[in-house]
Amino acid sequence: MSLNQLTAHELHDKLKNREITSVELTESVYQRIEEVESKVKGYLTLTEEIALEQANAADKGFQNGDDMPPLAGIPIAIKDVICTKGVRTTCASKILSNFVPPYDATVMQHLHSQGVVMIGKTNMDEFAMGSSTENSAYQITHNPWDLGTIPGGSSGGSAAVVSADTAICSLGSDTGGSIRQPAALCGVVGMKPTYGRISRYGLIAFASSLDQIGPFTKDVTDCALVLNAICGKDEMDSTSVDVPVPDFTQSLVNDVQGLKIGVPKEYFAEGLDEQVADQVQNAIADLEKLGASVEEISLPHTEYAIATYYIIAPAEASANLARYDGVRYGFRTEEQTDLINMYKKTRSKGFGQEVKRRIMLGTFALSAGYQDAYYRKAQKVRTLIKSDFDAAFEKVDVIATPTSPTPAFKIGERTADPLQMYLCDVMTTPASHAGLPGISVPCGFVDSGLPVGLQLLAQPFAEEVLFRVAYTYQQNTEHHLRKPEINSSKG
């Protein structure tokens, strides 16, 4: 097995025992990028020079016998919505095509202190608005399991590079499912931590009350390691919560005896692909055989989650994206007659269709005479959705659902129908409204060979329970060990 196919914890042991060097590992990842990146198109920017410098620094630490952190010398990819000092950060938008941040996001500071190797910045839906990574201003990322299909979104690049072994781990962001859904469609592990668990400082904002950074990894153990590295209160982000950060690796216990798993009937309704439903039901049955108890529950306001999301998120986006005006930084049109004309033309040419659609939706929802009817009502429904989860967690420890209602669909299949595209997030938005932690783990495959994800949800700041259930499931199944054949004829 090539070095680029191994997990971070396997590689840490090899680095620590001096069986390999971080430079060898980094070169192995870039070799893999050379082989498959032209087909997958997961990266917008590669940082090979920086990566090799970081790998050399890690190797010196290992050679000196220093007590090196678990992610030291490990190649990691970063979603292009997270600010990286001195490295272009575009949000996959033309309006930020020339933006080079003068500072690092807090999560990047944490990763640098761990001694990670930054491979590059990954492709995404523009400003994280989308479910397929088809809204990037630069390229469409392809799913490594079938190059004719989408990888999910908005963090499609971050999911695809881990699936394709062109990164060992990656960071993404999740507003309404943008980590969990692409993780499911690309057959990797993806986690959205509790809102407030991780600093959003340096995460370019889409919807500030929903956005959260999280990891993509090849297995649950790696997910715990990355989360250990990036969590914590940050004075630069007033929404980050001052709660103790446990060592999540202590929760990696192969035991679900006595845990209660709730299965919401609303998530197994019309619109769910039959084969996806079968694989998820099989996964829940496996957990039951391993000692968990399973009961049906109801989350009655689930049906309103998508409508609520597509009022709240665009409203917040409308405010957040007002700063891109061509005055201070980023793209500015050359065709201008006066200031107002410059604003209009810069934003018209700088933003893509989906971003403009959501800005208009959000501006309308916040406009005079409509704010009460739309935005305020959506916030009230959001409270009802959270109350459903609160009531459910009085009876169960974990909630298990499909992550996505369907496997990956064909590129171009839903671009003409925004409503069909928005329904991709029907399984993930409810937990985002409630600020809950959620993890998606591979749980099987449909007949076409595309992967299916099992979503596990827990109470706020109960990530340990998710790690325990997800780890137990992976210790007793092999779905996560399968690798895509990128050179297959499907592409």
| DSSP reduced 3-state for 276 | helix
In degrees to the nearest 10, what's the CA dihedral of 26, 68, 13, 73?
Answer: -10
Is residue 70 domain-resident? yes
- Identify whether the C-beta of residue 462 lies closer than 8 Å to the C-beta of residue 197: no
Residue 248's closest CA among 269, 209, 222, 267?
A: 222
- Per-residue pLDDT, 487: 63
| DSSP reduced 3-state for 337 | coil
Is residue 83 domain-resident? yes
- Identify whether the C-beta of residue 425 lies closer than 8 Å to the C-beta of residue 404: no
Is residue 361 domain-resident? no
| DSSP reduced 3-state for 215 | strand
Exactly one of 22, 154, 404, 432 is catalytic; which is it? 154
Provide CB contacts within 8 A for 254, sequence distance 6+: 471, 472, 475, 476
CATH number at residue 107: 3.90.1300.10
For the chain, the C-alpha Rg in angstroms (whole number) is 21
- Per-residue pLDDT, 77: 98
Residue 219's closest CA among 467, 37, 486?
A: 467
In degrees to the nearest 10, what's the CA dihedral of 165, 170, 174, 178?
Answer: -20
- Per-residue pLDDT, 490: 44
- Per-residue pLDDT, 491: 38
Exactly one of 173, 178, 251, 440 is catalytic; which is it? 178
| DSSP reduced 3-state for 439 | strand
Is residue 141 domain-resident? yes
Is residue 113 domain-resident? yes
* Residue 398, φ and ψ in degrees, nearest 5: -140, 150
* Residue 128, φ and ψ in degrees, nearest 5: 65, 20
Strand bridging mode 438-445 / 260-264? unpaired
Whether 79 is a known active-site residue: answer yes
- Per-residue pLDDT, 56: 98
Nearest-angstrom CA–CA distance, 79 and 394: 36
CB-based burial, 245-284: b 16+ in 10 Å, e otherwise: ebebeebbeeebeebbbbbbebbeeeebeebbbebbbebb
Residue 106 is part of which domain span? 3-255
- Per-residue pLDDT, 476: 98
DSSP string, 122-157: E--SGGG--SSS---SS----BTTBTTB---SSSHH
The count of other CB atoms within 10 Å of the CB of residue 17 is 9
The conformation of residue 273, written as its DSSP 8-state character, comes to -
- Per-residue pLDDT, 1: 83
Question: pLDDT tens for residues 32-90?
Answer: 999 999 999 999 999 999 999 999 999 999 999 999 999 999 999 999 999 999 999 99
For the record, the structure tokens of 449 come out as: 């060979």
Nearest-angstrom CA–CA distance, 266 and 263: 9
Is residue 367 domain-resident? no
Nearest-angstrom CA–CA distance, 172 and 179: 6
Whether 238 is a known active-site residue: answer no
DSSP string, 38-83: HHH--EEEE-HHHHHHHHHHHHHHHHTT----TTTT-EEEEETTB-
Exactly one of 22, 28, 41, 79 is catalytic; which is it? 79
- Per-residue pLDDT, 337: 85
Number of structural domains found in the chain: 1
How large is the angle between the packed helices 48-63 and 8-16, nearest 10 degrees?
A: 50
Is residue 280 domain-resident? no
Question: Which segments in the chain show pLDDT lower than 50?
Answer: 488-491
| DSSP reduced 3-state for 36 | helix
Whether 113 is a known active-site residue: answer no
- The whole-model pTM stands at 0.97
Strand bridging mode 260-264 / 398-402? parallel
What is the maximal distance between C-alpha atoms in the chain?
Answer: 70
Is residue 274 domain-resident? no
Nearest-angstrom CA–CA distance, 317 and 326: 17
